[in-house]
C-alpha cells in the first residue's frame, strides 16, 4: 500500500536532482574532457585544442550566470567587470586581426563566382585552406544569407579587404545592440550598455554577425508576441526564423526549441500552430536557397559539416567535445548520428522549460556537438542569456529597484493649462 507514495517521492527526488544537477555536471565533465584533450593532443590532425577549452568554460560561465546568479546582471560591480572584459576582448580582437585570413579569400572567390555567373555552391572554385596551409578549391560552405551583406559591401565600396569585412561585422553587431535596447525599452540603459563591448568585439574574426543580427530581431519579435499575442508577430517570428536558418547553424536548434516549447499535450491545436509556423519558416528558407539549388546548398553546408572525413579534406580540424571524442576513439562515422540524437533530445526537453531556457539548452547542446568549437557564438549565447534573465525577472516581478526606467510624466490636460 505504501509503495505508490514511496515510488512517487523517489521519482520526484530524481526529477529535482536531474533538473538541478544534470546540466552543470554535463558542462563540468565537458570542460574537464577538453582539458584532458588539450593536455594529450591525441588526434594527429587536430589543432588548437584551446578553442574547445575556451568554449566549454564560457558555456559553463553563461549557464552559471543564467541559472545560479542571474541577479549579478543588476550589480554595478559585475557590470563594471563585464565592461572591462569587453574592452580587453576588443583590444585583443583588433590586435589579432589577420589581413590575410582564410575567410577573406573564401568570400572573395565566392564573389568572383557570382560575377562570372557561376553558382558558388557547385563551382568548385572557392578558396579553402588545408591542414598544411595549402590552397584547396571547393564550394562555398556558408548558407546564402551569409553572402549578401558582404557582397553588397564589396560592390558599394568597389574593394574587398579585411577592413571592409571587419566594418560589416561591426555594423551588423551594432544593429544587434540597438535592437537589444529596443527589445527592453523599460530597462535603464546603464544595465544594458556594459554588455555592448562584448557583443561588438568578442570573436570578431569570424562571420557570426549576420546570425547575431537575425537572432536579435527574433528576440525582439518574441518579446512583442509575449506582450501582445497577435497573428502578425507569429508570422514575423516565423519569417525571421526562416531567414535565420540561412545564416550560420546556431539558429536551427534555437528555432526547433522555440516551437517545441509551445507544444501542449492537452491541446492538440498547439501541434497545428507549430506546423503552420514551422512551415512558414521552412518556406522562407527554401525561397532563399532556391536561386542556388536547394540540394546544392544542403550538400555544401549541412552535409559538409556533419561528415568529418570530407570536411577534413577541405579545412583544418579543430576538435570539439563530441567530434574530438569520436575522432580519438576512431569512430568518426558515428559522430553525425550521435550529434543529431543529442540535438533532438535537447529540443524534446524544450516543452518542459521556460521559452528562453529551452532556446539556451538547444544552443548549448549545438555548440558542444558541433564539429568544431564555434566560440564565435558565445557573445550571441550571452545575448540570449541576458535577455532571458530580464524576461524572467520581469515575469516574476523580481527586478531590483532602479532597474526600470522612470515612466515619462503624463502630459497636462488642456483644461489645466
Domain annotation covers residue 146: yes
Q: What is the mean pLDDT of residues 13-26?
A: 69
Domain annotation covers residue 69: yes
pLDDT higher at 7 or 339: 339
Domain annotation covers residue 295: yes
Burial 373-396 (b: 16+ CB within 10 A, else e): bbbbbbbbbbbbbbbbbbbbbbee
**Which of 309, 283, 306, 305 lies closest to 294, judged by CA?**
283
Q: What is the mean pLDDT of residues 230-258?
A: 95
Domain annotation covers residue 2: no
Q: What is the pLDDT of residues 274-283, one digit of tens each?
A: 999 999 999 9
Q: What is the pLDDT of residues 176-231, one digit of tens each?
A: 999 999 999 989 989 999 999 999 999 888 889 999 999 999 999 999 998 888 89
The C-alpha torsion from 46 through 316 and 206 to 50, rounded to 10°, is 10
Q: How many residues does the chain have?
A: 417
pLDDT higher at 98 or 1: 98
Predicted pLDDT of residue 7: 54
Predicted pLDDT of residue 276: 95
Q: What is the pLDDT of residues 84-118, one digit of tens each?
A: 999 998 898 888 888 888 899 999 999 999 999 99
Question: Whose grid coordinates read 541577479?
Answer: 71
- Work out whether the CA dihedral 394, 399, 403, 408 comes out positive or negative: positive
Number of domains, the chain: 1
Percent over 90 (pLDDT), the chain? 62
Beta bridge pairs of residue 187: 404
Whether 393 contacts 70, CB under 8 Å: yes
pLDDT score of 405 more than 80: no
Percent over 70 (pLDDT), the chain? 89
pLDDT score of 416 more than 60: no
Domain annotation covers residue 222: yes
pTM > 0.85: yes
Domain annotation covers residue 334: yes
pLDDT score of 315 more than 80: no
pLDDT score of 143 more than 50: yes
Predicted pLDDT of residue 309: 60
C-alpha cell at 61: 560561465
Predicted pLDDT of residue 410: 54
Q: What is the mean pLDDT of residues 46-55?
A: 90
DSSP state of 302: I
Chain mean pLDDT for the chain: 88
Q: What residues make up the domain containing 280? A: 24-397
pLDDT score of 296 more than 80: yes
Q: What is the pLDDT of residues 124-138, one digit of tens each?
A: 999 988 766 788 889
Predicted pLDDT of residue 317: 77
Domain annotation covers residue 262: yes
Domain annotation covers residue 13: no
Predicted pLDDT of residue 134: 81
Predicted pLDDT of residue 384: 96
Judge residue 372's burial from the number of C-beta atoms within 10 Å of its C-beta, 0-12 exposed, 13-18 middle, 19 or more buried: buried
Predicted pLDDT of residue 312: 56
Based on C-alpha coordinates, what's the Rg of the chain? 23
pLDDT higher at 397 or 321: 321
Q: What is the mean pLDDT of residues 12-16?
A: 57
Predicted pLDDT of residue 417: 44
Amino acid at each position: 500500500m505504501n509503495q505508490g507514495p514511496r515510488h512517487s517521492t523517489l521519482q520526484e527526488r530524481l526529477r529535482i536532482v536531474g533538473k538541478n544537477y544534470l546540466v552543470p555536471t554535463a558542462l563540468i565533465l565537458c570542460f574537464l574532457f577538453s582539458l584532458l584533450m588539450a593536455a594529450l593532443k591525441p588526434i594527429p590532425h587536430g589543432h588548437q585544442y584551446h578553442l574547445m577549452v575556451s568554449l566549454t568554460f564560457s558555456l559553463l560561465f553563461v549557464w552559471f550566470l543564467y541559472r545560479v546568479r542571474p541577479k549579478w546582471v543588476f550589480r554595478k560591480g559585475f557590470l563594471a567587470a563585464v565592461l572591462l572584459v569587453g574592452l580587453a576582448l576588443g583590444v585583443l580582437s583588433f590586435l589579432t586581426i589577420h589581413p590575410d585570413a582564410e575567410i577573406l579569400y573564401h568570400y572573395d572567390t565566392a564573389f568572383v563566382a557570382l560575377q562570372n555567373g557561376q553558382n558558388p555552391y557547385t563551382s568548385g572554385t572557392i578558396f579553402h585552406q588545408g591542414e598544411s596551409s595549402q590552397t584547396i578549391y571547393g564550394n562555398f560552405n556558408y548558407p546564402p544569407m551569409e553572402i549578401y551583406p558582404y557582397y553588397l559591401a564589396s560592390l558599394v565600396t568597389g574593394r574587398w579587404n579585411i577592413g571592409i569585412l571587419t566594418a560589416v561585422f561591426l555594423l551588423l553587431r551594432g544593429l544587434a545592440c540597438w535592437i537589444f535596447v529596443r527589445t527592453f525599452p523599460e530597462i535603464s540603459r546603464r544595465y544594458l550598455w556594459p554588455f555592448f563591448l562584448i557583443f561588438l568585439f568578442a570573436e570578431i574574426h569570424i562571420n557570426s554577425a549576420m546570425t547575431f543580427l537575425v537572432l536579435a530581431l527574433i528576440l525582439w519579435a518574441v518579446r512583442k508576441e509575449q506582450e501582445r499575442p497577435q497573428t502578425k508577430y507569429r508570422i514575423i517570428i516565423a519569417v525571421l526564423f526562416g531567414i535565420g536558418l540561412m545564416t550560420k547553424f546556431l539558429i536551427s536548434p534555437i528555432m526547433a526549441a522555440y516551437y517545441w516549447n509551445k507544444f501542449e499535450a492537452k491541446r492538440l491545436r498547439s501541434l497545428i500552430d507549430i506546423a503552420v509556423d514551422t512551415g512558414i519558416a521552412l518556406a522562407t528558407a527554401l525561397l532563399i536557397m532556391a536561386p542556388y539549388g536547394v540540394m546544392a546548398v544542403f550538400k555544401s553546408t549541412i552535409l559538409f559539416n556533419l561528415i568529418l572525413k570530407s570536411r577534413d579534406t577541405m579545412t583544418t580540424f579543430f576538435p570539439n567535445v563530441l567530434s574530438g571524442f569520436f575522432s580519438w576513439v576512431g569512430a568518426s562515422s558515428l559522430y553525425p548520428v550521435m550529434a543529431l540524437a543529442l540535438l533532438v533530445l535537447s529540443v524534446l526537453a524544450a516543452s518542459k522549460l521556460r521559452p528562453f531556457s529551452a532556446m539556451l539548452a538547444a544552443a548549448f547542446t549545438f555548440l558542444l556537438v558541433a564539429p568544431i568549437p564555434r566560440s564565435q557564438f558565445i557573445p550571441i549565447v550571452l545575448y540570449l542569456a541576458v535577455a532571458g534573465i530580464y524576461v524572467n525577472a520581469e515575469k516574476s516581478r523580481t527586478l531590483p529597484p532602479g532597474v526600470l526606467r522612470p515612466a515619462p510624466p503624463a502630459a497636462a490636460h488642456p483644461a489645466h493649462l
